[in-house]
């Protein structure tokens, strides 16, 4: 029997077994639901007659809970097997164990599948130890690390399959590695409204990162299109599988740039057989943490917009300083001097017990010196209350405790973090914040994280112990100060990823220069220099834009990058429409634009996604209005958007970070500056297949 015949035959066998198992699960789920309904009915009919000690009620509740959990597990299994029906496996390794005469075939898919529990799997999970053979070795000598130890042998053959809708699309033997042609097909396909999983095409260097369990902190510095985000998410899926006794999806947190990006990646883990993980915007977290300090905070994107519109160099310089190591040092020096400025000691008296100011000073500066400054009096108060309660043999009432609390709190000149931050700004020679009540306080973005850092140093902050693995994406956009705050919040394993060239600032920062000093020297640095996302033409163009050293490019060719200048924004938008090749748009432009579309173009392959990317939100809105006039369907993505749409998207370069589009039309003003070069680079790296770089007028405002 040939390998091809084996693949098709095995697909039929697996499909039949999957369907039988699904029938069994459906039966178990139906029976379980019937039992649950019966237990509920029995409970309400016999509630009044159950024994007075509640034993019967307890047994009933336990049985109900057991059945509900069993049904939930069966439902999870059902959903997983239903996904497997579409494509049960994608690879096969024929492995001859050392000392054996016959090779064993291992079929590899998204998840494990055995006909019955305890039987040898028909399909092995891509994360299983034996599956590493598929990713790490060519034909010839090979080994993998099993629970029983290292298993040595020889790979006699490797097969790759494409199965869709339960039908074999193609299958062939791969002599060397995960074949480039397969990878070309995967990368050359249309962009989707969500990030693709890469289990079928994981490369050897990527697999080493995904299966890394030894390093506590892994920092991945990768070029645009190197697959950083995909690798990080697949690594999380692998760790959830490998460490399933100690790590659950609820123990993992991703810090993502925005809600659209969160939606863009949200399907990956469920596709890989895992529950979704928690996601958080660090900015939004900071705003919530400061709600008791200021009524509102400026949004990061509003700050970016303001800087691009006004170009206030003094404010930019001040912002960078407030995020720096120097500012942290300045703040620590301020805190060292703050004790004497912040506290006015006086004796505390309560119903026959007194603590003198000398005793207070001794406790404040020595006994409780390690406590945060604004929490220190609380520690002393608890000491005082414990002594009183021990002496009198009773607990203080809430009213009595409040009375004591007032005496201790009155020794602080202020407990308002906002006011104390004002003192810090005065000492640093920075402009003062408005002296207004809480409800009128609006923090500028430059003050958000400096104030949050000061708040934690004054009040303390417990680490989020439930989080056992933290993923930080776009690491280059986090400042020294922000990493100091993250170290306070999380003392867990981390996967940190980014590209120093893709910063939102015109000044590129290399976080690798200071991360070891903050997080410890035990972090592992990995550099990815191979780009997979873009065609060679686009990748070479982006390298020149950012003046980057040569990258290793995956050989996938496409249309040359098109550059053009236009007298107005409307003219540029019409040109973009003329070049649109979306499945959902059949050239609905004006006659002038339609002339560009030849009969040949109608025969060309059409795309699923496209984007017009601008520098500012104002420009994006103008583009969107022009498209509406031209009756071209499009979606405007702004900071409040939460989903990644199919078709044509209009948005800014900073909101497009991390996303991919089949076609990208970058529309910027015809000028040159460090920021504009950065804008163009970020726009260009979003393109999968076609890139159009358009320049408008002299200032970009002409319409």
Give me the pLDDT at residue 51, please.
61
How buried is 34 (Cβ within 10 angstroms: 0-12 exposed, 13-18 middle, 19+ buried)?
exposed
Q: What is the per-residue pLDDT across 84-139, written as a single tens digit (0 to 9) for each?
A: 999 999 999 999 999 999 999 999 999 999 988 889 999 999 999 999 999 999 89
Band (702; pLDDT cuts 50, 70, 90): very low
Residue 142's DSSP bridge partners are 153
Name the band, by pLDDT with cuts 50, 70 and 90, for residue 700: very low
- The pLDDT-based confidence of 600 (bands split at 50, 70, 90) is very low
Question: Which stretch of DSSP H or E encloses residue 436?
Answer: none
Say if residue 597's pLDDT is above 90: no
Share of the chain above pLDDT 70, in %: 90
Average pLDDT for 43-72: 71
Asked whether 194 and 265 are in contact (CB, 8 A), the reply is yes
User: What average pLDDT is seen over the chain?
Assistant: 87
Q: Is 391 helix (H, G, I), strand (E, B) or coil?
A: helix
Half-sphere exposure of 283 (CA within 13 A, CB side): 20
Q: Which of 336, 408, 410, 403 is nearest to 373 (CA)?
A: 336
Tens digits of residue pLDDT in 644-697: 888 999 999 999 988 899 999 999 998 888 888 889 999 999 999 999 999 998
pLDDT bin (cut points 50, 70, 90) of residue 522 is confident
In the predicted structure, residue 320 carries a pLDDT above the cut 80: yes
Nearest C-alpha neighbor of 105 from the set 116, 83, 84, 89: 89
Q: Does the pLDDT of residue 179 top 60, yes or no?
A: no
How much is the average pLDDT of 326-353? Answer: 94
Rounded percentage of the chain residues whose pLDDT exceeds 90: 59
Task: Return d(Cα 24, Cα 130) in angstroms, integer.
Answer: 29
Q: How confident is the model at residue 54 (pLDDT cuts 50, 70, 90)?
A: low
Overall size of the chain counted in residues = 703
Does 415 score more than 90 pLDDT? Answer: yes
Report, as an integer, the average pLDDT of 253-260: 86
User: How would residue 175 be classed by pLDDT, with cut points 50, 70 and 90?
Assistant: low
């Amino acid at each position: 029997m040939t390998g091809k015949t084996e693949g098709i035959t095995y697909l039929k066998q697996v499909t039949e077994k999957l369907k039988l198992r699904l029938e069994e699960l459906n039966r178990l789920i139906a029976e379980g639901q019937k039992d649950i309904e019966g237990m509920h009915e029995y409970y309400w009919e016999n509630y009044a007659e159950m024994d007075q000690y509640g034993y019967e009620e307890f047994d009933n509740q336990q049985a109900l809970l057991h059945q509900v959990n069993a049904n939930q597990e069966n439902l999870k299994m059902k959903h997983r097997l239903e996904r497997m029906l579409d494509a049960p496996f994608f690879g096969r390794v024929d492995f001859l164990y050392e000392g054996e005469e016959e090779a064993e075939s291992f079929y590899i898919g998204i998840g494990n599948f055995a006909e019955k529990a305890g039987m040898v799997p028909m399909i092995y999970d891509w994360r299983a130890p034996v599956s590493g053979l598929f990713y790490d070795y060519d034909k010839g000598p090979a080994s993998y690390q099993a629970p029983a130890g290292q298993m040595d042998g020889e790979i006699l053959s490797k097969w790759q399959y494409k199965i869709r809708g339960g039908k074999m699309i193609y299958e062939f033997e791969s002599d060397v590695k995960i074949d480039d042609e397969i990878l070309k097909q995967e990368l050359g396909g249309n962009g989707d409204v969500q990030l693709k999983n890469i289990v079928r095409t994981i490369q050897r260097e990527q697999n080493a990162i995904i299966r890394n369990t030894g390093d506590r902190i892994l920092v991945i510095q990768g070029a645009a299109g190197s697959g950083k985000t995909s690798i990080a998410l697949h690594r999380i899926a692998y760790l959830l599988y490998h460490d399933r006794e100690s790590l659950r999806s609820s123990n993992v947190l991703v810090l993502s740039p925005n809600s659209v990006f969160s939606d863009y990646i949200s399907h990956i883990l469920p596709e890989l057989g895992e529950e979704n993980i928690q996601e958080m915007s660090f900015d939004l977290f900071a705003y919530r943490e400061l709600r008791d300090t200021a009524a509102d905070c400026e949004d990061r994107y509003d700050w970016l917009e303001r800087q691009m519109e006004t170009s206030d160099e003094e404010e930019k310089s001040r912002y960078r300083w407030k995020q720096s190591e120097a500012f942290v040092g300045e703040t620590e020096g301020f805190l060292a001097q703050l004790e004497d400025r912040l506290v006015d000691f006086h004796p505390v008296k309560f119903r026959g017990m007194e603590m003198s100011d000398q005793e207070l000073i001794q406790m404040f500066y020595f006994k409780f010196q390690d406590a945060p400054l604004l929490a220190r009096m609380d520690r002393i108060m608890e000491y005082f209350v414990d002594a009183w309660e021990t002496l009198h043999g009773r607990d203080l009432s809430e009213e009595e405790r409040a009375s004591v609390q007032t005496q201790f709190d009155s020794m602080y000149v202020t407990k308002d973090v906002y006011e104390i931050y004002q003192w810090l700004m005065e000492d640093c020679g920075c402009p003062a914040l408005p002296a207004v009540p809480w409800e009128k306080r609006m923090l500028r973005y430059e003050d958000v994280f400096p104030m949050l850092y000061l708040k934690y140093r004054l009040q303390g902050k417990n680490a989020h112990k439930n989080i056992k693995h933290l993923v930080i994406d776009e690491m280059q956009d986090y400042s020294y100060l922000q990493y100091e705050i993250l170290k306070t919040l999380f003392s867990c394993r981390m996967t940190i990823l980014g590209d120093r060239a893709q910063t939102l600032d015109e000044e590129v920062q290399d976080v690798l220069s200071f991360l070891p000093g903050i997080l410890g020297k035990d972090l592992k640095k990995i550099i990815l220099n191979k780009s997979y996302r873009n065609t060679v033409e686009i990748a070479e163009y982006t390298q020149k834009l950012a003046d980057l050293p040569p990258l290793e490019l995956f050989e996938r060719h496409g249309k040359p990058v098109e550059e053009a200048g236009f007298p107005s924004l409307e003219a540029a938008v019409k040109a973009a429409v003329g070049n649109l090749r979306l499945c959902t748009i059949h050239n609905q432009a004006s006659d002038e634009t339609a002339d560009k579309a030849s009969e040949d173009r109608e025969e060309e392959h059409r795309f699923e996604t496209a984007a017009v990317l601008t520098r500012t939100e104002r420009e994006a809105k103008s583009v969107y209005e022009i498209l509406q006039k031209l009756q071209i369907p499009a979606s405007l993505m702004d900071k409040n958007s939460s989903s990644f749409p199919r078709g044509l998207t209009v948005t800014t370069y900073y909101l497009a970070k991390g996303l991919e589009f089949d076609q990208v039309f970058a529309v910027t003003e015809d000028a040159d500056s460090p920021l504009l070069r950065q804008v163009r680079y970020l726009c260009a790296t979003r393109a999968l297949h076609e890139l159009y770089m358009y320049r408008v007028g002299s200032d970009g405002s002409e319409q």
